[in-house]
């Protein structure tokens, strides 16, 4: 929400928590409150309308395997916090590094602290086999960015296939017909689903899939650089590249510049994740924003509803395409 209001997260917290001993200009306060209403925080939030019932004045446990590697976990926790702040619900966070013994200790301590529900999050979207300690919890459990094979718990994940489709379709809509993609590591579900969305968008537009235009990276800038070099060396290079994360897009930018080409005049580029770096590249990067904040809010809503035992449909939340300056209409090469 700080991005939407054009200010720091600290300023957002000051405004939303009605801190009176810190001076905030009326214009900035209004901008933050308008962004909050637009994004569904506070009084406009569906969580607020549903009510948190017995969670009010209590606490919720958040168990995550990693906090420091990417911003996704922090964004999800922030979404959960915004969904519950008016109801005086405290979020307690435990990082376990995916170790079962750490998870068991975290569960015991969170329950001892009075947690009235637990959110279990994986930093990578995947199917998980969770420890038996979660089978007999006295409080509800919701899975965030992961799911189990038997779907016995409510679970929420990003709609990555639709995201890959949106990224590709945005380039097709600008007239591009030879569109490459740099995928992440193929064993990861996010990479598989984004590629599936890419292929679907091509098929819907009547464009043939060309495996020469699909290069596997590993999410790093270096792999984006090297993959772009391969694509530019083709006899018929692409006019646009969909990089499946923003770090690979950064490497892609460098390879295009090193080749003496310009973005987007000679080549359009789309990224994925809306990493902070996407706003500092020149030109600024068109990308997709992962929905971890609304996913965190959804998890809190499910805990408030006290889900019953049984099979639960995996809830998918759509990504948002953020148009910036790295794409334009197709350039026809002579």
Q: Report pLDDT for 330.
A: 85
Q: What is the dihedral of CA 277, 279, 280, 283, to 10 degrees?
A: 120
**Amino acid 198: pLDDT:** 98
| Equal fold, 2-18+40-158+292-317 vs 160-289 | yes
Structural contact between residues 219 and 191, judged by C-beta atoms closer than 8 angstroms:
no
Which tokens go with 91?
């979020």
Total-model pTM: 0.82
Phi-psi region at 124: left, alpha or beta (left = phi > 0; alpha = psi -120 to 50): beta
Q: What is the pLDDT, as a whole number, of residue 216? A: 96
* Segment holding 179, helix H or strand E: strand 179-183
Give the residue among 179, 187, 169 at the shortest CA–CA distance from 213.
Answer: 179
- Rounded Cα distance between 217 and 250, Å, is 13
What does the block give as tokens for 58? 């209590």
Rounded to whole angstroms, the Cα distance separating 113 from 61 reads 9
Q: Which residues pair with 182 in a beta bridge?
A: 215, 243
2-18+40-158+292-317 maps to CATH 3.40.50.2300: yes
| Angle between helix 160-172 and helix 189-204 axes, rounded to 10 deg | 40
Cβ(281)–Cβ(326) under 8 Å? yes
Q: Helix or strand or coil: residue 181?
A: strand
Q: Is the peptide bond before 283 cis (omega within 30 degrees of 0)?
A: yes
CA distance 333 to 236: 10
User: Tens digits of per-residue pLDDT, 256-285?
Assistant: 999 999 999 999 999 999 998 999 999 999
- C-alpha 300/C-alpha 142 separation (Å) is 8
Point out the residues of the chain with pLDDT beneath 50.
42-51, 333-334
C-alpha distances in Å from residue 332, one per residue of 233, 236, 237, 266, 328: 18, 12, 12, 9, 12
* Neighbouring-strand partners of residue 209: none
d(C-alpha 78, C-alpha 275), whole Å: 16
Q: What's the pLDDT at 53?
A: 55
CATH number of 160-289: 3.40.50.2300
Domain chopping of the chain, boundaries: 2-18+40-158+292-317, 160-289
The pLDDT of residue 13 is 59
Q: At what angle do helices 72-84 and 292-305 cross, to 10 degrees?
A: 50
């Amino acid at each position: 929400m700080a991005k939407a209001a054009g200010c720091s997260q600290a300023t957002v917290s000051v405004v939303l928590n009605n801190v009176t001993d810190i001076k905030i200009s009326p214009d900035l306060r209004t901008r933050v409150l308008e962004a909050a209403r637009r994004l569904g925080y506070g009084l406009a939030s569906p969580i607020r309308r549903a009510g948190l019932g017995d969670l009010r004045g209590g606490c919720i446990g958040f168990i995550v395997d990693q906090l420091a590697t990417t911003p996704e976990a922090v964004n999800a926790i922030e979404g959960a916090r915004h969904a519950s702040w008016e109801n005086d619900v405290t979020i307690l966070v435990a990082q376990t590094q995916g170790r079962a013994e750490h998870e068991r200790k975290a569960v015991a301590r969170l329950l001892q602290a009075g947690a009235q529900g637990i959110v279990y999050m994986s930093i990578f979207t995947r199917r998980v086999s969770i420890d038996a300690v979660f089978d007999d919890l006295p409080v509800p459990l919701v899975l965030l960015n992961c799911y189990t094979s038997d779907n016995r718990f409510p679970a929420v994940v990003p709609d990555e296939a639709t995201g890959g489709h949106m990224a590709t379709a945005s380039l097709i809509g600008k007239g591009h017909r030879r569109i490459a993609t740099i995928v992440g590591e193929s064993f990861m579900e996010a990479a598989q689903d984004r590629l599936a969305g890419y292929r679907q968008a091509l098929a819907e537009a009547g464009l043939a899939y060309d495996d020469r235009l699909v290069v596997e990276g590993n999410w790093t800038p270096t792999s984006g650089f090297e993959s772009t070099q391969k694509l530019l060396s083709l006899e018929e290079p692409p006019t646009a590249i969909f990089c499946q994360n923003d770090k690979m897009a950064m490497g892609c930018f460098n390879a295009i510049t090193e080749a003496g080409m310009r973005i987007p005049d000679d080549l359009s580029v789309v990224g994925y994740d809306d990493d902070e770096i996407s706003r500092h590249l020149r030109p600024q990067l068109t990308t997709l924003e992962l929905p971890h904040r609304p996913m965190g809010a959804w998890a809190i809503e499910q805990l408030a509803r006290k889900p019953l035992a049984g099979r639960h449909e995996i809830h998918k939340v759509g990504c948002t395409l953020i148009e910036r300056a790295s794409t334009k209409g197709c350039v026809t090469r002579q």
